[in-house]
A and B are shown apart, each in its own frame.
Chain A
């Protein structure tokens, strides 16, 4: 059985390079420390703190968008902020993912009626994971990262399957 795991289909030895890269990507998310509003306290500070501890998942913060691969949009985005969000996203290296954290980033939240507020960050950048809540608890953010891991894994599998079918 142990030999199977080593040499069989989808085994350690015969893992495809894409699967290997995605395995690494899935387990070392570097998020940009870019807290906009209240969600930053929960999603960046508390979740990075000792109780919830992002580090366990290999999730760590980076100060520069050049080194980050996850953009957590944690807060309300308004007209003045929108170009900044877009610019930070553009500065990040591929592959990159976006998590819209909280009601404000998803839809405008409690402030959606104010004409200065952008109704959801999907108007500015493509979003991979939506996290409801105002603010979401740190556990929600951990769940979001787990969902992102699944999403990346399934995307890789889809790609490999499509290639196998076309061959």
Chain B
């Protein structure tokens, strides 16, 4: 499905968006605050399968990617929203319950929050861990992981 069609569906639901057809497929960019409305509109249009939500640290903000699919027509759509560091995007679990784990993971590993999540606890890490997937959190250096010489 061309991205413009997706943008039309969203426009009919009153959500403005910027469509583009990329190597990835149909990508639609929109405001973070409207993502729950947008996904509800897509669900109503037959995008019944939620594949993934993940965040990327772009260096200036966190970009969240929602990947949904219409199983019968085999159309994939990628919704992208940008939230500032420690910012928030509404939880979309009422449209796609599959997102419950993924939102918790994105919240702890990238330091964003999802208001409306029914169980906003940490999922993978323990209290006190840094948001590891941020670019500012470095992995251990070669010196740190070297074994001490006897």
- Which A residues are within 8 Å of any B CB, using their own CB? 79-80, 107-108, 112-116, 119
Least CB distance, B128 to chain A, in whole angstroms: 9
Least CB distance, B149 to chain A, in whole angstroms: 14
Cβ contacts under 8 Å, A107 to chain B: 145, 147
Asked if A116 and B139 sit within 8 Å, CB to CB, the answer is no
Q: How far is the CA of A116 from the CA of B125 in the complex (A)?
A: 8
Question: What size tier do the contact residues of chain B reach?
Answer: 10 to 19
- Which B residues are within 8 Å of any A CB, using their own CB? 124-126, 129-130, 132, 137, 139-141, 145, 147
From the candidates A80, A112, A116, name the one contacting B145 in the complex (CB within 8 A).
A112
From the candidates A80, A115, A119, name the one contacting B139 in the complex (CB within 8 A).
A115
Since A80-B124, A116-B125, A116-B129 are in contact, a sample of 18 more A-B pairs with Cβ atoms closer than 8 Å, ordered by chain A residue number, is A79-B125, A79-B129, A80-B125, A80-B126, A107-B145, A107-B147, A108-B145, A112-B145, A113-B139, A113-B145, A114-B132, A114-B139, A114-B140, A115-B130, A115-B137, A115-B139, A115-B140, A116-B132
Cβ contacts under 8 Å, A112 to chain B: 140, 145
Top 8 closest pairs, chain A to chain B, by CB: A113-B139, A112-B145, A113-B140, A80-B126, A79-B126, A113-B145, A115-B140, A114-B139
Cβ contacts under 8 Å, A79 to chain B: 125-126, 129
Q: How far is the CA of A119 from the CA of B146 in the complex (A)?
A: 10
Least CB distance, B127 to chain A, in whole angstroms: 10
Least CB distance, A66 to chain B, in whole angstroms: 26
* Chain B, residue nearest A108 (CB): B145
Least CB distance, B141 to chain A, in whole angstroms: 8
